[in-house]
Amino acid sequence: MDESNLSLKEENRKLRKILKETKDELRSVSDRLNTIDRQKDEFISMAAHELRAPTTAIKGYLSMMLNGDAGDISERVRGYLADAQATNDRLIRLVNNMINVSRIEEGKITYQIDDVKLSALAGAVYSDFKFEAERKKLGFSTEIQENVNDLVKVDPDRIREVVANMVSNAIKYTNEGFVKIKVLDSSGGMVRLEVVDSGPGISEEEQSKIFRKFYRVKSAVGKTIGTGLGLYISKLIIKSFDGEIGVDSRMGSGSTFWFELPRQ
Ligand SMILES: Nc1ncnc2c1ncn2[C@@H]1O[C@H](COP(=O)(O)OP(=O)(O)OP(=O)(O)O)[C@@H](O)[C@H]1O
Ligand SMILES: [Mg+2]
């Protein structure tokens, strides 16, 4: 074996050693990152759980006062209480989204499946947001197609969260006009729920991004409060019940957020 061949072998050996060391180092960094990521998820989940009890208690007291359980209240006080209730509800939604997102991503969520009429869910969400829409002076209504066949087999609490996320967005991003919740038959054995608004609309480019985790449209950042989790989690939930979710919108012409679920 001549000298150049020997040095080539030596070079090769060194390179392999460096490669192995780099691989080991990368593996250890990746392990550390995974641990940190898990700890972060555990922390968020714990913080969210801790926030749940107090926000639920606040919700109860505010509802009692608004219902007159603490005596008559003036219109002015009613307005303030309604604002506090809307803010607290937003906090509850945020906490629920934070808890759900890690549970669903890790496949740890257990669904409580039941027969549900989408029109009943639409009505419940309508009641939850009536005050908030009123405060923004928006027209707010439901429109249920006559004789609609809207019985679905889902986890009602989860689907209600999806509708609430959509309605909350519609009210949050619309400053003038209306928000409408519609339930109607669709083709292929599906039933469809739509949340229509007369808000700013969303460009085609943004439409393809808003269902991503943490994504917020640039014009919304800073002007409105949000984490960009609402639509991401809604998509995860609808997908897990074999449904479809989407948006039809044009800049300046409002938006229609919709989902479809297989009917019973
Ligand atoms: N009805 C709507 N009209 C206009 N823009 C909307 C509408 N709904 C959603 N968007 C845009 O899509 C983005 C993502 O919505 P998403 O609900 O996921 O997050 P968010 O509302 O910003 O925060 P979160 O729901 O977590 O509090 C929003 O930041 C907003 O820019
Ligand atoms: Mg939202």
Q: DSSP secondary-structure letter at 257? A: E
Q: Which amino acid is at 92?
A: I
Q: What CA–CA distance (Å, rounded) separates 7 from 94?
A: 63
pLDDT value at position 1? Answer: 56
Q: Is 197 in the pocket of ligand 1 (CB under 6 A)?
A: yes
SS3 142: strand
Q: Of the residues 216, 227, 234, 248, which should be mutated to test ligand 1's pocket, given the most ligand atoms within 8 Å of the CB? A: 216
Residue whose Cα lies nearest atom 28 of ligand 1: it is 216
Q: Which residue has the tokens 């780099």?
A: 22
pLDDT value at position 149? Answer: 95
Q: Is 236 in the pocket of ligand 1 (CB under 6 A)?
A: no
Q: What CA–CA distance (Å, rounded) separates 68 from 83?
A: 16
Residue whose Cα lies nearest atom 9 of ligand 1: it is 169
Q: What CA–CA distance (Å, rounded) separates 224 from 241?
A: 30
Q: Is 230 in the pocket of ligand 1 (CB under 6 A)?
A: yes
Q: Which ligand is nearest to the CA of 212?
A: 1
pTM metric for this prediction: 0.82
Q: What CA–CA distance (Å, rounded) separates 1 from 5?
A: 7
The residues that bridge with 244 in the sheet, in sequence order, are 260
pLDDT value at position 105? Answer: 83
For the chain, which residues score pLDDT lower than 70? 1-2, 221-222
Q: Is 217 in the pocket of ligand 1 (CB under 6 A)?
A: yes
Q: Which residue has the tokens 């219902």?
A: 67
pLDDT value at position 136? Answer: 92
> If we measure between CA atoms, which residue out of 131, 118, 120, 138 comes closest to residue 180?
138
Q: Which residue has the tokens 């919304």?
A: 220
Q: What CA–CA distance (Å, rounded) separates 230 from 220?
A: 14
> If we measure between CA atoms, which residue out of 160, 144, 152 comes closest to residue 190?
152
Q: Give per-residue pLDDT as tens, 126-177.
A: 998 998 899 899 999 999 999 999 999 999 999 999 999 999 999 999 999 9
Cα 230 to middle of ligand 1, angstroms: 7
Cα 234 to middle of ligand 1, angstroms: 11
pLDDT value at position 135? Answer: 86
pLDDT value at position 170? Answer: 97
pLDDT value at position 227? Answer: 82
Q: What are the chain's domains?
A: 3-105 (1.10.287), 114-262 (3.30.565.10)
Q: Of the residues 97, 210, 237, 253, which should be mutated to test ligand 1's pocket, given the most ligand atoms within 8 Å of the CB? A: 210
Q: What CA–CA distance (Å, rounded) separates 58 from 76?
A: 20
Q: Is 231 in the pocket of ligand 1 (CB under 6 A)?
A: yes
pLDDT value at position 34? Answer: 93
Query: Greatest CA separation found in the chain?
Result: 102
Residue whose Cα lies nearest atom 7 of ligand 1: it is 169
Cα 184 to middle of ligand 2, angstroms: 23
Q: In what order do the strands lie in the sheet with 178-185?
A: 139-144, 178-185, 190-197, 255-262, 244-249
Q: DSSP secondary-structure letter at 145? A: P
Decide: 62 and 85 in contact? Cβ < 8 Å: yes
Decide: 121 and 166 in contact? Cβ < 8 Å: no
Cα 162 to middle of ligand 2, angstroms: 10
Q: What CA–CA distance (Å, rounded) separates 47 from 175?
A: 33
